[in-house]
Amino acid sequence: MADKVFLATAKVSPDAAYTVSAGAFAGPRKRPRSGVLQSLLVGLMLLAGAAEVRASNGAGAAFSRQSVIDLARELARSPFEPLPQAPPALAELDYSTYRQINYRQDRAVWGATPTRFTVELFAPGFLYRDLVDIDVVENGRARPLAVAPDSFRVPESEPELTKVFAQVGKYAGLRLHYPLNSEQYKDEFLVFQGASFFRGVSRGQVYGLSARGLAIDVAEPTGEEYPVFRRFWVERPASEQQAIVVHALLDSRRVTGAFRFGIYPGDPLRMDVEVTLFARERVANLGLAPLTSMFMHGGVDPGDIPDYRPAVHDSGGLAVQRGNGERLWRPLSNPRNLQTSAFIDRDPGGFGLMQRSRDFADYQDLEARYDLRPSAWVQPLGEWGPGHVRLVEIPSPSEANDNIVAYWQPEGGLPLGEAFSYAYRLTWPDDAPGAANLARVVRSAGGQRLSSSHRQMVIDWADTGGGSDLVVDASISAGTIIESTVQDNPFIHGSRVFVTFDPGDVETAELRVRLLRKDRPAGETWLYRWLDEQ
C-alpha cells in the first residue's frame, strides 16, 4: 500500500515447536516424527522456548471476542491517545528505500507448521509511521509478537536499520498468506496497513481498491477524522482449516471499536465482519463499511489530459441494491470540484465499488493491469435501518491518489451512551452478485449527438436478449429529455440506449434511465450527475 495516498481479526498443533530469538516469535519448527533422541531434543527445545516466552510475556493472557469489546468500552472512557510514532530514522525513509525492506519469509508466523495460513509483518517507516501491537492467539491465550534484529531484510546501504527496528519493537501492519492460486505456494491475499485501511484479492486478481474500518466526516469542511487500528489479534487456525480470524481494536478522537474479521480466502475472498462501536462524542457523519478507490478517467468521463490508455481506474462504478429490490448503477467520475451523492434507503441489500470490465483492451496498461483489479461488495447482515449510501468523488490529478469513497451513513449517526453494533459480509469479486432477471450496465459513454448541438448519453445493458418490447424510461432533474431510443446490441446479447437531452442553463443535472419490459425493470437503473464542466 505504500504506492497509494488517501485523499479522503486455534489450536496449537502437537507437531509444532517454537523457537524464540531476542524476545521475538521466530517461527515454528516442525517436530521430527521418529527417533527417541530426536523427540527428546525437540521436547527440550519446546520447554526452553516456552520458558523464554513466559519470561518475557508470561503464559499469555486469556482472550476472546469479548476481550476486545471490553477494551474498546474502557478505552472510550478516556481521551484519545495518538499511537506511538516511528523515529525519524524510519519516518524519513523515501519510497524507494522503504520498498526494499521486507519481512523475512523464514520468520513467517506458523511458516513451517501444518497450518495453511502464515502471517508476515510490515516494518514501520515512510508513510506508515503509526506503531501498532500485534498478538497471536493460540489455545485461547494471546501473546504479543516482538521484533528481532533479523526480522527484516534491509538494503545493503542501510544495515543499521536492523538495530532500529529491534529498538522500536513494533510493526506497522500485517499481511496474510494462503495457497490461493496454487497448493505449492502461499499467496499474499490480505493486508492491514495504515490507519484502518485493508486490501484484499481473490483468486487471479491483483491489489486495487481498499476497505477500511470506519469513516468519519468524509468531505466535511472541518476535515476528515481517520480512525486507526491500534492493536490486532490473529487466531491460529487448525491445520486443515480454510478460514482465519483477525480481531482489531479501533481508536479515534471520538470513537472506539472492536472488530472481528472472519476471513475465507478463495474465489471470491469473503470477510464476515462484526463491529461494536463506543462513542466518546456524538458523530453525525459516520460511514459504515467504507470503501476507498481511484478513478482517473474512462467511460462517461474521458479525462482532460491525453492518455494512451482508454481508462484508468480501480473501480468504474457504484452498484447499490436497494431495500425494495431496485438495483442502481452509477458510473464514477473525476470531477473538477468535490462532489457528494446520497442514495437514500432503508435496510439496503448491498452496495459496492465495481471494476466491471475485465477486458485488457479497455485499459491497455501492461503494468497496472486494471483489468485484474477486484471489486468490493458490502452485504449488510441484519437490519441497518434508515440512512443512505454516500458517494464522494474528489478531484485528482494522479492515479496514485485514492479519490473515491463510498459507505453507508446511518440516520442519526453514532449516539452517545450505548454500544452500537452491526455486521456485514465483504466480498472481493470481479463483479457484484447478480440480481435476478436484471441486466447489467456494461458501458456508459457521453458526448454530442451527431448533426446536432444536443447532449447525448449512450448506455449498454448486457444479456437483455434484445427485442422490440423493450422501452426506455428517462428523466432529468433540470432541462428536457428530447429523445430516448433503444437498439439491439448483438455483440453483448443486449441492448443499447440513446438518451438525448438539453440541460438548459443549469450547470448540474441528475439523469435517471430505466430499461423496461412490460412495465417491469429489465435491467439496473442507470444514474448519472451531468456537470457543465464536461
Are residue 488 and residue 404 in the same domain, yes or no? Answer: no
Instruction: Please tell me which of 30-34, 51-55, 292-296 the model is most confident about, judged by mean pLDDT.
Output: 292-296
Is the pLDDT assigned to residue 50 strictly greater than 60? no
Q: What is the mean pLDDT of residues 234-244?
A: 95
Domain with 480 in it: what CATH number? 2.60.40.10
List the beta bridge partners of residue 122: 173
Residues 457 and 401 in one domain: no
- The separation between CA 281 and the C-alpha centre of its own chain, rounded to angstroms, equals 26
| Helix extents (H) in 311-468 | none
Looking at the structure, do residues 291 and 417 belong to the same domain, yes or no?
yes
- Residue 93 above 80 pLDDT? yes
- Which of 428, 459, 478 finishes a domain? 428
Q: Does one domain contain both 347 and 241?
A: no
Beta bridge partner(s), residue 259: 248, 275
The three grid cell numbers given for residue 426, joined into one nine-digit string: 465483504
Q: Count the helices and strands in the chain (H runs, E runs).
A: 5, 38
- What is the spatial distance between Cα 480 and Cα 510, in angstroms, rounded to a whole number? 11
Asked whether residue 6 carries a pLDDT value surpassing 70, the answer given is: no
Residue 52 included in any domain: no
107 and 217 assigned to the same domain: yes
| Closest C-alpha to 198, from 168, 171, 176 | 176
Within-domain flag for 21? no
23-27, 378-382, 453-457, 489-493: the lowest-pLDDT one? 23-27
Q: What percent of the chain has pLDDT over 70?
A: 89
pTM: 0.88
Mean pLDDT computed over every residue of the chain: 88
Judge whether residue 71 has pLDDT over 60: yes
pLDDT band at 447 (very low <50, low <70, confident <90, very high): confident
Q: Based on the fold, state whether residues 83 and 167 are members of the same structural domain.
A: yes
| Same domain membership, residue 399 and residue 474 | no
State the pLDDT at residue 4.
53
Asked if residue 199 has pLDDT above 90, the reply is yes
At residue 19, does pLDDT exceed 90? no
Position 58 confidence tier, pLDDT thresholds 50, 70, 90: low
pLDDT value, residue 378: 98
Q: Does 138 fall in a domain?
A: yes
pLDDT band at 188 (very low <50, low <70, confident <90, very high): very high
Domain housing 114: 5-9+60-279
Q: Residue 30 falls within a domain, yes or no? A: no
pLDDT at 419: 96
What's the CATH code of the domain at 85? 2.70.98.10
What is the pLDDT at residue 452? 83
> What is residue 112's predicted lDDT score, i.e. its pLDDT?
85
The residue out of 244, 279, 314 marking a domain boundary is 279
pLDDT at 450: 82
| More reliable by pLDDT, 58 or 101 | 101
- Which among 155, 286, 163 has a CA at the least distance from the CA of 215? 286
pLDDT in tens, 395-423: 999 999 999 999 999 999 999 988 999 99
Residue 167 has pLDDT above 80, yes or no: yes
Looking from the CA of 434 toward its CB, the CA atoms found within 13 Å total 10
Regarding whether 230 and 160 lie in a shared domain, the answer is yes
Please count the structural domains in the chain.
3
Average pLDDT over residues 96-103: 94
DSSP 38-71: HHHHHHHHHHHHHHHHHHHHTT-EE--HHHHHHH
Residue 280 has pLDDT above 80, yes or no: yes
Give the pLDDT confidence of 478-512 residue by residue, as tens digits.
999 999 999 999 999 999 999 999 999 999 999 99
Tell me if 72 sits within 8 A of 9, measured CB to CB.
no
What pLDDT sits at residue 45? 29
State CA 486 to chain mean position distance: 37
Strands (E), 449-493: 455-462, 470-476, 480-489
Model confidence band, residue 150 (pLDDT cutoffs 50, 70, 90): confident
pLDDT at residue 307 in the model: 95
